[in-house]
């Protein structure tokens, strides 16, 4: 782990060595950024050293991670990341866009983006000789932690709100985690997980609390960088690929704000290394009923006012986003913006993506709903290259999926009956 210098507070800028802080800034509770030894990495590696690696998982980016690779057999821990990017030609035509892609994070081992964070956190827990990891989750972070902990032979304790979707609770239980359903919302579960972590000495994976989640999530940015170089090999030589066109615009849904901040961090690392010379544009999408980060963005403040969250997209239903400040900056510092979509628009997006062969849970489809709105309002132009992230699988929330479609007819098993309904 030669590349990890310690932490820097995203609010006050205080720096801490790795033994001096564990979660938030001891001074002001700000989120901590992991500080890499960029100069050391630069001396040791060139982009080609990454691009030529044969590893097809997030461990491909080990030289840029503050962690050592989990040893031993191939397990689901070794299958996180390196998710496919699809061209959405039909949807691009509908929206009058020329270049539209989707990166499908539902292909991760537990079927959401959260595996990236959990793979890194359980590996960190092992380095710290901590055998119990705990998290609060609306579902996916817990499922990811439970699955990754099972793969790493660690014990996971998960606090989830009692109304979390069944499929997600089933995942937690099948992965063998100790699951505790809280008679309250995600925010209540979050606080209880922090308290339990302090009381029992468990390592806490909470999103927007543990600095290592961001380090896992940033690997999606590295994959996008590699994919982008590849996608433009025909257009230009690699060095200038990111510069000669409109910047890549990335759409991502936002709850706590850790995914969007992680993607921003990944590109900031690449910029600091000099491996890219320009940032992509990052656009955050929130549900109308859970828009605390978007509200702060529009009010041009970094003070995040909690809301009383209510949306069909449970994975982005958050009263008080725990990574709100960095999430505001991710859009602000990349010439991006925030877009707010209604539950109806999210449900409609599930159907549209389904028509392209992609099955997204509401929070995953929200990013596409945001693009639809952005295209309509001229926030993106027809020539802009656009990448939408589907952050979670539709199988996670079948009840929401059924709202996006008409029920199938039931008929007698006869041709006559069939002809009647065709
Ligand atoms: C967690 C999650 C998000 C949002 O990530 P944040 O870091 O909370 O902003 C989006 N989509 C899915 C499917 C998720 O599980
Ligand atoms: Zn601070």
Residue corresponding to tokens 């059924």: 402
Tokens of 7: 């932490």
Decide: 346 and 289 in contact? Cβ < 8 Å. no
198 by Cβ neighbours in 10 Å (0-12 / 13-18 / 19+) ranks as exposed
Residue nearest to atom 7 of ligand 1 (CA): 258
Same domain, 101 and 33: no
Same domain, 10 and 101: no
Q: Which of 258, 252, 261, 319 is nearest to 286 (CA)?
A: 252
Please report the DSSP string for 257-296 in residue order.
SHHHHHHHHHHHHHHHHTS-SSPPEEEEEEEGGG-HHHHH
**Which residues contact ligand 1 via a Cβ below 6 A?**
112-114, 140, 207, 253-259, 315-316, 361, 363-364, 391-392
Same domain, 246 and 306: yes
Per-residue confidence (pLDDT) for residue 405, from 0 to 100: 96
Residue 68 resides in a domain? no
Which three-class secondary structure state does DSSP give residue 251?
A: strand
- 3-state helix, strand, coil split of the chain in percent (to 5) is 45, 15, 40
Per-residue confidence (pLDDT) for residue 242, from 0 to 100: 44
Same domain, 288 and 363: yes
Write down the mean pLDDT value for the chain. 94
Same domain, 3 and 101: no
Per-residue confidence (pLDDT) for residue 243, from 0 to 100: 47
Per-residue confidence (pLDDT) for residue 240, from 0 to 100: 43
- The mean pLDDT of 341-357, rounded to a whole number, is 98
Residue 384 resides in a domain? yes
C-alpha 192 – ligand 2 centre gap (Å): 23
Residue 189 resides in a domain? no
- Given ligand 1 and candidates 140, 251, 257, 361, which is best to mutate, with the most ligand atoms within 8 Å of its CB? 140
Decide: 383 and 364 in contact? Cβ < 8 Å. no
Residue 302 resides in a domain? yes
Q: How far apart are CA 117 and CA 104, in angstroms?
A: 16
Domain that holds residue 31: 1-37
- Given ligand 1 and candidates 104, 158, 363, which is best to mutate, with the most ligand atoms within 8 Å of its CB? 363
Residue 266 resides in a domain? yes
Per-residue confidence (pLDDT) for residue 241, from 0 to 100: 44
- The mean pLDDT of 189-197, rounded to a whole number, is 95
Tokens of 279: 């940032």
- Given ligand 1 and candidates 256, 370, 397, which is best to mutate, with the most ligand atoms within 8 Å of its CB? 256
Interval 69-102: pLDDT, tens: 887 789 999 999 999 999 999 999 999 999 999 9
Q: How far apart are CA 354 and CA 418, in angstroms?
A: 25
Per-residue confidence (pLDDT) for residue 227, from 0 to 100: 97
For residue 295, name the pLDDT band (cuts at 50, 70, 90): very high
CATH number at residue 367: 3.40.50.1100
User: Between 345 and 164, where is the model more confident?
Assistant: 345
- The mean pLDDT of 186-196, rounded to a whole number, is 93
Please report the sign of the dihedral spanned by the C-alpha atoms of residue 57, residue 58, residue 63, residue 67: negative
Per-residue confidence (pLDDT) for residue 343, from 0 to 100: 98
Same domain, 26 and 98: no
Interval 211-270: pLDDT, tens: 999 999 999 999 999 999 988 775 554 444 444 578 999 999 999 999 999 999 999 999
How many Cβ atoms sit within 10 Å of the Cβ of residue 344? 12
For residue 161, name the pLDDT band (cuts at 50, 70, 90): confident
Same domain, 6 and 94: no
- The mean pLDDT of 386-402, rounded to a whole number, is 96
C-alpha 387 – ligand 2 centre gap (Å): 33
Same domain, 3 and 94: no
How, if at all, do strands 281-287 and 338-341 pair?
A: parallel
Same domain, 20 and 90: no
Of the listed ranges 181-190, 211-220, 261-270, 321-330, the one predicted with least confidence: 181-190
Residue nearest to atom 1 of ligand 1 (CA): 315
What order do you get walking across the sheet with 281-287 strand by strand?
85-87, 99-104, 385-390, 249-253, 281-287, 338-341
Q: How far apart are CA 19 and CA 354, in angstroms?
A: 47
Per-residue pLDDT for 366 more than 70? yes
User: Which string of b and e fits 316-330 if b means at least 16 CB within 10 Å?
Assistant: bbbbbbbbbbbbbbb
As a whole-number percent, the residues of the chain with pLDDT over 70 amount to: 97
Q: How far apart are CA 164 and CA 242, in angstroms?
A: 41
Residue 418 resides in a domain? no
Cβ neighbours of residue 233 closer than 8 Å, sequence gap 6 or more? 241
The total number of residues written for the chain in this structure? 422
Residue 61 resides in a domain? no
Same domain, 22 and 104: no
Give the CA radius of gyration of the chain: 21
Q: Which of 190, 77, 216 is nearest to 135 (CA)?
A: 190
Residue 21 resides in a domain? yes
Number of the ligand 1 atom closest to the C-alpha atom of 252: 10
Specify the pTM: 0.95
In the chain, the number of structural domains is 2
């Amino acid at each position: 782990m030669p590349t990890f210098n310690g932490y820097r507070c995203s609010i006050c800028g205080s720096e801490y060595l790795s033994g001096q802080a564990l979660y938030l800034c001891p001074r002001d509770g700000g989120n901590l950024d992991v500080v890499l030894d960029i100069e050391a990495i630069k001396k040791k590696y060139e982009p080609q050293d990454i691009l030529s690696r044969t590893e097809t998982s997030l461990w491909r980016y080990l030289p840029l991670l503050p962690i050592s690779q989990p040893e031993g057999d191939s397990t689901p821990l070794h299958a996180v990341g390196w998710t496919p990017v699809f061209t959405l030609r039909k949807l691009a035509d509908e929206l009058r866009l020329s270049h539209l892609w989707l990166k499908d994070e539902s292909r991760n081992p537990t079927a959401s983006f959260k595996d990236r964070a959990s793979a890194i956190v359980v590996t960190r827990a092992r380095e710290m000789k901590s055998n119990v990891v705990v998290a609060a989750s609306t579902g996916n972070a817990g499922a990811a932690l439970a699955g990754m902990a099972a793969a790493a032979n660690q014990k996971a304790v998960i606090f989830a709100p009692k109304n979390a979707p069944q499929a997600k609770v089933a995942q937690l239980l099948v992965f063998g985690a100790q699951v505790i359903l809280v008679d309250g919302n995600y925010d209540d579960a979050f606080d209880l997980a922090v308290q339990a972590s302090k009381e029992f000495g468990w390592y806490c994976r909470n999103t927007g609390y543990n600095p290592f989640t961001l380090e896992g999530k940033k690997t999606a940015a590295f994959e996008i960088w590699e994919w982008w170089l590849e996608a433009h090999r025909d257009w230009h030589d690699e060095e200038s690929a990111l510069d000669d066109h409109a910047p890549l615009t990335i759409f991502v849904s936002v709850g706590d704000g850790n995914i969007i901040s992680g993607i921003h961090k990944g590109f900031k690392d690449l910029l600091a290394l000099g491996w890219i010379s320009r940032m992509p544009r990052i656009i955050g999408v929130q549900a109308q009923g859970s828009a605390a980060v978007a509200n702060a963005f529009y009010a041009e403040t970094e003070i995040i006012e909690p809301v009383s969250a209510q949306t069909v997209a449970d994975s982005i239903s958050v009263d008080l986003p725990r990574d709100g400040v960095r999430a505001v900056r991710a859009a602000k510092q990349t010439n991006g913006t925030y877009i707010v979509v209604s539950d109806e628009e999210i449900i409609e997006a599930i159907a549209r993506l389904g028509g392209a062969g992609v099955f997204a849970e509401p929070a995953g489809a929200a990013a596409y709903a945001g693009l639809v709105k952005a295209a309509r309002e001229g926030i993106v132009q027809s020539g802009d290259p656009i990448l939408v992230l589907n952050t979670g699988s539709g199988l996670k929330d079948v009840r929401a999926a059924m709202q996006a479609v008409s029920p199938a007819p039931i008929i007698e098993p006869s041709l006559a009956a069939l002809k009647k309904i065709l």
